[in-house]
Each structure stands twice: as C-alpha cells, then as structure tokens.
Structure 1
Amino acid sequence: MNYDVLIPVIRKLAIEAGAKIMEIYNSDDFDVKVKSDDSPVTAADEAADAIISAGLRAAFPDVMLVTEEQADSHSAKGETFLIVDPLDGTKEFIHRRGDFTVNIAYVEKGVPQRGVVYAPAKERMFFTQADGQSVEEVGVFDLDVVGETREINVAKSDNAALMVVASKSHRDQATDDYINKYNVKDSKSAGSSLKFCLVATGEADIYPRVGRTMEWDTAAGHAVLLGAGGQVVRFDDHTPLTYGKDDFANPFFIAYAPDVELKTA
C-alpha cells in the first residue's frame, strides 16, 4: 500500500461521509431500524457507508474491504484489508449526544497501520500521516487540502494519578471493578472510537474495554493510538490485539499509554 495515496483518500472520504451524517443529524427527524444483532442503524449509517465504500473500491479495487453495514463483507478472510465503521456510536447519534465518529482503517498483517477518526459533531479529526505519526487536524476541513495539524502523542503517565476514559453507553460493574485497581485522578466518559483518540492526545492514560466490540469499531482508533506512541492489548494476557479474526469480533482489551503499569484482570 502506498500510504501517500491512501491517507488523502481516507481523509477525504471521512469528511464527505461526515457531512452527510451531519445533514441527517440536523434534520427534524430520522428513522431508526434494528439489525439482526439488535443493534440500531439509521439512514446516516447507510448513506455514509455508501460514500466510503464506493470511494475505497474505486481507489483500491484490489484490496479487501470489510464494512460494518455490508454483511456479505464479514465473511472475507485475510490479514490485510481496509475496514470501515461509517458511523461508530449510532446510539450517541440517535440521542444527539455528538460522540460519534467515522472510522476508516488499513490493516496489514493483522495490525492497523493507518487510520482516520473523524467526529463531525465535535469538529475533531485525527489521522495517521503517511510516515505513521498521528496528528489532529484543526480548523475547517477542506476536502482536498489538509489544514493546520498538530502532532499528537500519549501522556507521560503518573501511575499515582491516572486519567481514565471509559465507554459512555456500555460502562458496567466489571469495567468499574477493573478501573478501581488503579490510582485514578479522574475519569471521563466518551462514545465511539473517540476514547482511543483521547489516550492518543494525552487527555487520558488508559481505556479499558470489558465488553463486546468488533474490529470495525476499533481499527481506526487503534491505528491513531499506535501512531501516537500508545498500545492496545488483550485484557486477558496483555498480548497485542490483532485483526483479521474469523468473525471480526474482539476480545476485551486495554488501550493505554506505555508508562501505565497494567494490572491483571
């Protein structure tokens, strides 16, 4: 994969999808349907998926594409592929809480190498540059011209006073029990893949996820965090979280800055 070609394409598609999502988000009303797994889906999910998948297939016709909204792509097999969640945080979208993102990532040999996470309602854009360094783009997001960017890096964590970020919609007792193993200065909640990005920018030190996620939920945020010096490991044995699993389902995991002294489950 030529990353100098990839990054402008996925950034542009994320902005285009985000614009369509916000058009629907700001409308008076929108329909909410329920998928076979009982998760919600809206016109925004479907419209954003159409934009992104068409753009990726046109630009990279020979690369395997996996996207949440196309069930036939979930049977694909391989260690190298593009993976998309066109609207991560649908519940946040439905309740108009703003914590939703567009996620596009490129996985090679099971590792998310590059990705973009765009939160259109928050006006925050995170992506990995061609060289692998993660940045946050600020200001107005032009389709073809990258605006001002700032390099992002994980925090130098103080294990006596950690900042924790956890799921807004899926926090439970098991999550709290694990968080309580640490010396926590403060904690915050966020939706969607923004949690990875808060660790990547140093706004949080650790994000534990004790709950079901799919690879399209995490790959882009994982790539951004790796490009900022962070890590994502399995909850059970602290080995790296890998991609291309048979059903694209993730085990529980921990995303963190490397100075954090991880506790066992």
Structure 2
Amino acid sequence: MQPIDIEDHDALVTALLPTVRAAGRLEMAYFAKGVEIEQKADRSPVTIADREAELVILADLAKIAPEIPVVAEEEIAAGRPCEYARRFFLVDALDGTRLFIRGKPEFSINIGYVEDGKARFGLIYLPPSERLFVTRADGFAYEGQLSLAPGEEPPEVTFHRITTRTPDPETLVAFNSRGTGSASAQLLADLKVADARPLGSAMKFCLIAAGEGDLYARFGETYEWDTAAGQAILEAAGGSVTTPEGEPLTYGHFQRGFRNGHFVAWGRQPLWRRGST
C-alpha cells in the first residue's frame, strides 16, 4: 500500500476499499458471535470490535496518507491528546455500538476528511447490507456494493451517482436517532412530519443522500467523527447540514473535545430555522 495524493478522492476511495472491507469482515464476525461490553469514561459502551476495526483503519491510513493526522474515536476516548490541525481524518470505526451490541444491523464505518473546518471527503460503509457511500473526485456522491465475501483483492466496486430528492412538505420522511427520544419533537411538529423512522448510526445521512428521506434532526450529543463523513456525502448529493440557526456544521473543534452542537441534516436546503416559526 503506497501513499497517494490526498486531493485525488477517487484514488483515496480505491485505496480505502480493502481497508473498510477488512474492518467490515471483522465487525460482522463479532456481530455474529457476540462481544463482551466495556464502559468508557463517559459511560458509553465499547467492544473489542470497535478497537480492532479502528486499528485496521489507522494502520492503513498511516500508509495511504502518512502526513495527515487522524482523529479516531477510541484513541480520543483512551486519552490521546489532539491539537489544531488544518487537515485531518475523522474515523469512527464502528458507529452505532449500542445497536451492534443489541444485534441490530444499524452500524457503520465512517471515514471523513476535513480541511479548514469543512468536511471535504466522506466514506461510509454499512457492513450488514454491504452498501458503500462515498464522495468522488468530481464532487458528487456515489453508492456501490462492497461484498464481504472472498473475492478479488483489491476489490472492485461499480458506483452509481446518488442525489437527494426534492422534499414534499405533505409527505416528509424524517430519520430519528434511536437514542435521542423526543429531543427533536418540536421541529418535527413544526414541519408536520408524519413519518419519523428510528434508525441508528450515520446511515441516516446516507439514506437522505440516496433520496430515501428528507431530514435528520439531532439535538443530543454527538462528535465530529459521527458526522463528518455523512455531511460530506450528503452535501455532495445536494443536501446540507446546519445548526438550528441555519449555519453550516463545522469541524476541528479540538478545544471542546470534538463535540458537535445541535444540527439538522437536510435533503436540500433547510426547511426550518430556530425562531422562524
């Protein structure tokens, strides 16, 4: 595995295909047989699948782009210090750990790339369904199938471009994070959303990018590694991710531990802003 030009997103996708397939195989093996659960300092759960998948991704990123720092969830949880960087990767090797533990196939592998506070590149892989979502060199978002079955190395994936759909105010579909309860209930009520579907992990961004939904509101705690890849993909598909005030969600906030503020992911432009209704 050789270093690549980080600005060539097609080359980055190609280089990462074996990485996410290896991490996906590892996760699905643990998903089938079960894992022991540990607790991090913030009382969130973590498993050996989280840690081993992250190690796979970190090792390959060090070869693919050795000059680019990486901010990874489990490394940060273990106390690794981070400082400001203009360019860096954000990695959540197993997004949706609680659902993974409960046997729900709603988890993802997230790899985002940030430059000057903006999510510039995203790759999200859903091992249970083998769906792969990426941004590519032409600035658009694409979906493909990355099989976990034994096959060619490196793997080949046929991609098709995806775009968000024009929202119909009468039939809006919202995806809710399973862990946030009614935190965004008022927004959904203001928009008269009749179809709100609970769903885990960053796959919510992907489904909106693929035109299968219209919005995802998160008014609870998240971290930048939860959202960067999804934001890059959704924006490349025609959507947006904003604060409740309508400002773009930004990255690199190391001084607050890479915590996000509240945000809404939209299939197109925002349909709601705080104080507008």
Q: Residue 10 of structure 1 corresponds to which residue in structure 2?
A: 16
1:211 equivalent among 208, 220, 224? 220
Q: Residue 254 of structure 1 corresponds to which residue in structure 2?
A: 264
Residue 140 of structure 1 aligns to which amino acid in structure 2? Answer: S
Query: Are residues 1:128 and 2:138 paired?
Result: no
Query: Are residues 1:48 and 2:56 paired?
Result: no
1:1-265 equivalent positions in 2, closer than 5 A: 1-3=6-8, 4-27=10-33, 29-71=34-76, 72-138=79-145, 140=147, 144-168=154-178, 170-235=179-244, 237-245=245-253, 246=255, 247-259=257-269, 261-264=271-274
Shift of 1:180: 0.8
Alpha-carbon distance in structure 2 between the residues aligned to 1:260 and 1:166: 17
Residue 24 of structure 2 aligns to which amino acid in structure 1? Answer: G
What count of residue pairs does the alignment treat as equivalent?
Answer: 262
TM-score of the superposition, structure 1-length normalised? 0.93
Structure 1 residues 61-70 or 133-142, which shifts more? 133-142
Alpha-carbon distance in structure 2 between the residues aligned to 1:136 and 1:130: 14
Alpha-carbon distance in structure 1 between the residues aligned to 2:234 and 2:225: 15
Shift of 1:143: 5.1
TM-score of the superposition, structure 2-length normalised? 0.89
Question: 1:139–1:131: structure 2 CA closer, same or farther, 3 Å change rule?
Answer: same
Shift of 1:159: 1.8
Residue 186 of structure 2 aligns to which amino acid in structure 1? Answer: D
Question: 1:104–1:95: structure 2 CA closer, same or farther, 3 Å change rule?
Answer: same
RMSD: 1.7
Q: Where do 5+ consecutive residues of structure 1 fail to align? A: none
Shift of 1:228: 0.5
Shift of 1:56: 0.4
Report if the CA contact (8 A) 2:100-2:107 is conserved. Answer: yes
Q: Tell me the secondary structure at the aligned position of residue 255 of structure 1.
A: strand
Residue 18 of structure 1 aligns to which amino acid in structure 2? Answer: G
Give aligned-pair identity as a percent.
Answer: 35
Report if the CA contact (8 A) 1:181-1:263 is conserved. Answer: no
Alpha-carbon distance in structure 2 between the residues aligned to 1:143 and 1:65: 25
Report if the CA contact (8 A) 2:131-2:144 is conserved. Answer: yes
Residue 37 of structure 2 aligns to which amino acid in structure 1? Answer: V
Shift of 1:139: 6.1
Q: Residue 3 of structure 2 corresponds to which residue in structure 1?
A: none
Residue 82 of structure 1 aligns to which amino acid in structure 2? Answer: F
Question: 1:111–1:260: structure 2 CA closer, same or farther, 3 Å change rule?
Answer: closer
Structure 1 or 2: more strand by fraction: 1
Q: Tell me the secondary structure at the aligned position of residue 180 of structure 2.
A: coil
Shift of 1:192: 0.4
Q: Where do 5+ consecutive residues of structure 2 fail to align? A: 1-5
Alpha-carbon distance in structure 2 between the residues aligned to 1:89 and 1:139: 20
Shift of 1:241: 0.3
Alpha-carbon distance in structure 1 between the residues aligned to 2:211 and 2:26: 30
